[in-house]
Structure 1
Amino acid sequence: MRPDDGVPHNETDRGNFDKDVDYNPEQSSSDTDDSSSDHSTQAGVKRIEAVSKAWTKTSLIIAYVALLLIANVTSLEIQVTGVMARYATSAFVLHSLLSTIYVVQGVVSAVIKPPMGKIADVFGRLEAFSISIAAYTIGYCMQAGSGNVQTFAGAQIFWAAGFNGLQVLQQIFVADTTDLLNRALFSTLFDVPFLWTTWAGPEVANSILTTATWRWGYAIWAIILPVCFIPLAISLFMNQRRAKKLGFDVPSPFRGRSAFQVAKNIWFDLDTFGLLLFAAAVALILLPLTLAPNASGGWSNGSMIAMLVVGGVLLLAFPLWETSKKLAPKAFFPPNLFKERTIIAGVLIAFLYFMAFYMSVFPYFSSYLQIVQHKSQVTADYITRTFTFSSTVSSIVVSLIIKYTAHYKYYVTFGAAIYLMGMGLMLAYRTEDASVGTLVGTQIAVGIGGGFLNVPVQLGVQASASHQQVAAATTVWLTLLEVGGAVGSAVSGAIWSTYIPAKLQLYLPAENLADYATIYGDLTVSSDYILYPPGSPARIAINRAYQETMRYLLIGALCCAAPILPLTFFLKNYKLDEMDQKVVGNVIGKAERKERASGQHQRWKFWKR
């Protein structure tokens, strides 16, 4: 589809748009093809195309400054709450369920991105941003007020919905307002705050834990984030009004429709049943991996087997649903996207990248450092946050290189090699006497590899999609990246909760054997070097159990990272400055393209940065 398709420039276009609103599920989903007709572009896409034509340089700067303000808040929040989660689960004497928390986050993160992308396409960007901020705030409030681990885990649904909705909307906004040469650089803007929050986060968290409780580590963000959203909301709202005054407004696709017609349109546009299938399948398969070792009867527990069986059936049913033009004419995983080898390779790289990450760096590496390496909470978090810092720096570097070379594939291959090497170093230096410098060095290597992987792969996937499908391609990529993280969390949780209790019972001396459950369930106990001093039989047993288990996790992570390198060879080597930029209106960048409009060729307007 051409980028200007469906943007009404006169009353005739508006009339045609309204006539085609009532959704026919039997209609071919031609909107996934570049040659689709005008009405195939969804309302939110038409609206952002219209709004893009109304952007001024000043209004676009204000929008990006507002987004950067939000990015600073959320990046600091991640650093602080990442510490709080360990102490929250330990407060409930269930530190081992930390991986379950991350599985819940991963599942919600995976399934929320497609509908959030769809909401942005169907209703508009401002509406989708508002929903994300509201969910984010509810999650903070629930986490702060949780009285048990079940409520705390349930809060992850809202938190993850808000966080990941905001993440995908930031990337969609960048895709709407930049050309391909500048997109990687501007996508990386939202990672820049990690350069300072990485180091500030552990100190802020320690200050909160010292002066208040872990609950305040969540509560403060319920106040700060909504306030910081106000400038962005005003900017988007005012620009929509300006677009309307300039004649670029897109009417509501639901105008003059009955409640039933509106509900039917939303059902098909959001692919509601497909979303539920996917969410249920992923959750039912992954959650038993972390719950079974702690459940009564373990894997012989009938509910665990039932969850796996039902989840497997739903997972098999999901592609059947998504490929049916009658049942899912607007599938949130458009089948034709997976005809592009770059998209296939890109989503596999994302899946394996995050799976390896969640079996190595998160969620248990910080705990390992506190328990086995006898590092303080702040030092342990500084070591693991080195990954965040180095990946942010390397992503900025690779974005600048892409901007001036117009290539991306070579850097993905380089990043894959470094990432694999970093995982190998983590395994090699997983020893009790490893120095801080060695531990930091492994995180730098993994971070550099991750930075060179993440941004270029996403750019390649976006370059393979039409403008109507940029949001879909972005959400598919981010969704499978999060599924990889959820799988990694589930596997690491299964390994952690299976081997550590067994090894503690095997290695602990007789006088401490009765304490194994408390040691396993509470980080503050297992890392207490006064209660279990260095050189004591109990400390030797504890460190041995955690060290051997960490070795299993890192072997798994290395196996996951290994296929990434050969997958990079399947990416197409796009020359980005020679491609259709797939954006409409006033966008950031220096590029020009001819497009057909009423039989004439028009030039795009670009701002030189």
Structure 2
Amino acid sequence: MTILSFINRPILNPCFHTIPEESSKPIHGEESDDTACEHQALDDSALSTKDKPSVGAQISVSTQALEEDYQTGVRKAEAITLLWSKKSLYSAYVLIYVAYFVLDLAFGTAAFLAPYAYADFKSSQMVGISAVMAKIIGGVLRLPLAKLLDIWGRGEGFLLMVLLSTLGLVIYASCSNVASYTTAAVIYYTGFNGLQYTLTVWISDISRLESRVLLIALSSTHSICTSLVVPYIVSSFVKRGSSSWRWGYGCFAIVLPVALLPLTILFLWHQRRAAKTSIPATDKPHRTLTSSAVHFFHEFDVIGCLILMAGLILFLLPFSLATSVADKWRSTSTITTLAIGFCLLCCFPIWEKYGAHRSYLPWPLLRNRTLLGCALTTCTLFVSYYCWDLHFYDFNQVVLGLSATNAVYMEQIYTIGSCFFACFTGILIKVTKRAKLISLICVPIYMLGTGLMIYFRQPNVYVGYVVMCQIFLAFAGGTLAPCEEVMALAVGTHDNFATILAIINLAASIGGAIGASIAGGIWTNVYYGELVKFLPDSAQDLALEIYFDYTTVLEYQKGTEIRSAVQMAYGAAQRDMCIAGTAVTAITFIAVWLWHDMYLGHNGRQVKGLVF
């Protein structure tokens, strides 16, 4: 065996080429050309012409046989793309874009209105805890939602999430105590996360792998507009009075369902139209109430779902709540909760392997190194992001001396830049049909951006250098995020789309919680100590006030002794946070290296019908 043949292995050679297994040969009854799935779409007149055979008769038996192993919701999604026209396809994507735009407006407005709501309930510490719990529960519930979309249907699940989001906004607008505010937060975040997740699943349903990155990237370009518009929307509400924040929630309780209703109707109408044919139909078994309960108990893998949800909540909650107190990690309850959560997470794959009647993911996918590498990539990117992003807005004002408006623009460089570079990446992948090499090139650029911030996140640094670092991060982050998502989807079938996306989103939640905990711990233990160290003796009594409210120091001009002391303390804390963020990216490079370098062109078999 020569040295070249030895190193030409998937784990050693990052450019070792593989083709997705399901795409290596044509499926029975389909054309081998990449455009074959487009030719399967049926003309709309097929349903209205009486003298023609039924639409179900026009679909080959072998094509229907391909769908028999898929769950009902997936068969409904394939039936829609088999029947609709190009006009419906493009209309669906436009409405998905509108849905993303409105959701981002609602979420951004709600986030800026939250401090005004906190002010009304500042006497209770439950407000902060409820926000943390709402985000964790909303993220974890993507798992049962994935099963709901696969078993029940995409349109039905989306409609349910619209109702939940609207209900949460209504309760937000009318809440009068902490209990109702907490209820609103949990319901709203559950619905909001579910809506965004379902939209991503829909994009995957209507696109091939080589086009999916571009479609996902284009759908995120709304952030360029919403990031600039949201502050003006918030100011128009809060300037009316102390409790006018309720009008903001109430406004979107009307706007949200009205804007999302056309998309819901489009998919449900096509789904109903397809139901009149024999395409998605299967013989409905006659079950008793008890047997139906047992059947769906196994279909939803209730035990596995509870194990994973309990494990994630117990594992993530200590990370989210243990950042405000310096010695919180020494608490027995924190360590015990974390340990129980970790043990439950370890029990989940064991249950999926040996106990589940119908698992969330087939066991080969759970141990697939590309899927694991994509999940690890997502997790480490979020850890790194939360490490360097925490208190970045404060840093822009206190250290760089930017105005509130310019500080917001500085933060938006990453959001806007990542949207732009994601579109460029989508075009590049559509041409090259590969994503691994592009990602491997971008990880060092991300390392460079975070590494340079160690030096440039200091007092008396030219603001242009900080902008340069943000551009590096936007370029690499905007490229890596869609790449890891499409590579994860490449290892599964259409029947696994919803669950794979749920796994990737969960990895993001875990990474965000860990990153926020690391950054919060550094900030708590470093910033205050450095603040006391650098403040003059005459201003030591201001240390706690400055620590809890950074706006206090903005009253002092740059160059004054107190302002300079606070800037030095910020520089010390930001340096350590950026070091942590840079160190984590080394794991990101290993995670990307683990991916198979799959050719994304032979994938007309993942989705069927008329798709992008």
TM-score, normalising length: structure 2: 0.81
Q: Could you tell me which residue of structure 2 aligns to residue 113 of structure 1?
A: 142
1:185 CA drift (Å): 1.7
Partner of 1:494: 521
- The farther-off stretch of 496-505 and 478-487 is 496-505
Q: 1:455 Cα shift? A: 1.2
2:421 aligns with: 394
Pick aligned residue for 1:345 from 351, 373, 392? 373
Name structure 1 gaps, 5 residues minimum.
14-35, 589-609
Farther off after superposition, 443-452 or 477-486 = 477-486
Q: Does 1:271 align with 2:271?
A: no
2:291 pairs with 1:261: yes
Matching of residues 268-417 of structure 1 within 5 Å: 268-292=298-322, 294=324, 298-324=328-354, 326=355, 328-361=356-389, 363-417=390-444
Q: Does the Cα contact within 8 Å between 1:49 and 1:585 map onto a contact in 2?
A: yes
CA distance in 2, matches of 1:149, 1:137: 19
Alignment of 1:450 onto 2:477: yes
In 2, distance between residues paired with 1:273 and 1:367?
44
TM-score scaled to structure 1, two decimals?
A: 0.81
Question: What is the match of residue 592 of structure 1?
Answer: none
TM alignment of 1:18-57, pairs within 5 A: 39-57=68-86
1:180 matched to 2:204: no
**Residues 530 and 68 of structure 1: is their aligned pair in 2 closer, same or farther, counting only changes over 3 Å?**
closer
Cα shift at 1:290: 4.3
The answer to whether structure 1 residue 423 and structure 2 residue 450 are counterparts is yes
Kept after mapping to 2: 8 A contact 1:103/1:286: no
Partner Cα distance (1:164, 1:320) in 2: 28
Cα distance change, pair 486–335 in 1 and its aligned pair in 2 (3 A): farther
- 2:601 partner SS: helix
Q: CA deviation at 1:382?
A: 1.2
Q: Which amino acid letter does the alignment assign opposite residue 546 of structure 1?
A: Y
Q: C-alpha deviations, 1:494-537, integer Å up to 9, x for none?
A: 3334444444455555665555444433xxx4223464454455
Secondary structure of 1:426's counterpart equals helix
Q: Which of 229-238 and 208-217 deviates more?
A: 208-217
Who is 2:105 aligned against? 76
- CA contact under 8 A between 2:361 and 2:496: conserved in structure 1? no
Q: 1:101 to 1:354 in 2, by over 3 A?
A: farther
Worse-matched range after superposition: 87-96 or 200-209: 87-96
Distance verdict in 2 for CA 1:80–1:10, change over 3 Å = closer
Q: Could you report, residue by residue, the CA deviation over 1:86-111 in whole angstroms, capped at 9, with x for unpaired residues?
A: 56557766999999788546533542
Which residue of structure 1 lines up, in the alignment, with residue 585 of structure 2?
A: 561
- The gaps in structure 2 that reach 5 residues or longer are 1-21, 30-53, 60-64
Are the equivalent residues in 2 in contact too, given 1:103–1:489 (CA < 8 A)? no
Change (3 A) 1:176 1:384: same
Q: Which moved more, 1:387-396 or 1:285-294?
A: 285-294
Residue 397 of structure 1 and its aligned partner are, at CA, apart by: 0.8
Aligned to 1:578, the other structure's residue is in SS state coil
Moved more, 455-464 or 143-152: 143-152
Structure 2 counterpart of 1:114, one-letter code:
L
Q: Distance in 2 between matches of 1:167 and 1:542?
A: 40
Alpha-carbon distance in 1 for matches of 2:99, 2:233: 18
Deviation of the 1:544 alpha carbon: 3.3
Say whether the 8 Å CA contact 2:213–2:482 is kept in structure 1: yes
* Aligned mate of 1:136, from 149, 159, 165: 165
1:459 to 486, 501, 507: 486
Q: Using a 3 Å threshold, how does the CA distance of structure 1 residues 474 and 557 change in structure 2: closer, same or farther?
A: same
The answer to whether the Cα contact below 8 Å between 2:387 and 2:581 also exists between their aligned partners in 1 is yes
Cα 1:556–1:536 change in 2 (3 A) is same
Whole-angstrom distance in 2 between the partners of 1:252 and 1:203: 55
Aligned equivalents of 2:196, 2:151: Cα separation in 1: 18
Checking the alignment, whether the CA contact within 8 Å between 2:73 and 2:153 is kept in structure 1 is: yes
Residue pairs, 1:127-166, within 5 angstroms: 127-144=156-173, 155-166=184-195
Q: 2: CA distance between counterparts of 1:536 and 1:92? A: 36
> How far apart, in 2, do the equivalents of 1:103 and 1:556 lie?
23
Classify 1:296/1:137 alpha carbon distance in 2 versus 1 (closer, same or farther; 3 Å): farther
The question of whether the paired residues in 2 share the 8 Å contact of 1:278 and 1:315 is answered with: yes
C-alpha separation between the residues in 2 aligned to 1:544 and 1:150?
41
Q: How does 1:412-561 map to 2 (within 5 A)?
A: 412-508=439-535, 513-514=540-541, 516-521=543-548, 525-529=549-553, 531-561=555-585
Deviations 1:162-190 (A, max 9, x none): 23222221222122112222222222232
Contact 1:103–1:487, Cα closer than 8 Å, also in 2: no
- Quick one: structure 1 residues 124 and 73, their matched pair in 2 at CA, closer, same or farther if it must change by over 3 Å? same
Distance 1:3 1:208 in 2: 56
What is the root-mean-square deviation of aligned Cα atoms in Å? 3.5
Identity of aligned residues (%): 27
Q: Say if 1:231 and 1:569 are closer, same or farther in 2 by CA, change over 3 A.
A: same
Assess, with a 3 A threshold, how the Cα gap between structure 1 residues 55 and 544 changes in structure 2: closer, same or farther: same
Work out whether residues 134 and 189 of structure 2, in 8 Å CA contact, stay in contact via their aligned partners in 1. Answer: yes
State the distance in 2 between where 1:364 and 1:150 align: 29
CA distance in structure 1 between the partners assigned to 2:168 and 2:394 by the alignment: 24
Distance 1:98 1:418 in 2: 39
Which residue in the other structure is 1:223 paired with?
254
> Cα 1:98–1:123, aligned 2, differ >3 Å: closer, same or farther?
same
| 1:136–1:159 contact (8 Å) kept in structure 2 | yes
Q: 1:244 aligns with which of 272, 275, 281?
A: 275
- 8 A Cα contact 1:413 1:565, kept in partner: yes
Contact 2:383-2:584 within 8 A present in 1 as well: yes
* Letter aligned with residue 428 of structure 1: Y
- For the residue of structure 2 that corresponds to 1:392, the secondary structure is helix
The CA deviation at 1:243 is 0.8
Q: Does 2:611 align with 1:581?
A: no
Using the alignment, how far apart are the partners of 2:403 and 2:119 within structure 1? 16
* Aligned amino acid, residue 240 of structure 1: Q
How far the C-alpha of 1:241 sits from its partner, in A, is 1.9
Please identify, of 347-356 and 174-183, the stretch whose mean Cα deviation from structure 2 is larger: 174-183
Q: Distance in 2 between matches of 1:563 and 1:297?
A: 28
Q: Residues 452 and 293 from structure 1, CA distance in 2 versus in 1: closer, same or farther, beyond 3 angstroms?
A: closer
- Could you say if the C-alpha distance between residues 152 and 421 of structure 1 is closer, same or farther in structure 2, counting changes exceeding 3 Å? farther
| Amino acid across the alignment from 2:582 | L
The SS at the match of 2:262 is helix
User: How many angstroms does 1:571 deviate by?
Assistant: 2.0
Match of 1:600 in 2: none
Question: In the aligned structure 1, how far is the partner of 2:408 from the partner of 2:103?
Answer: 17
Alignment deviations for residues 193-243 of structure 1 (CA, whole Å, 9 cap, x no partner): 112222223343344444555554444322211110110111112111211
Say if 1:563 and 1:38 are closer, same or farther in 2 by CA, change over 3 A: same
Moved more, 445-454 or 141-150: 141-150
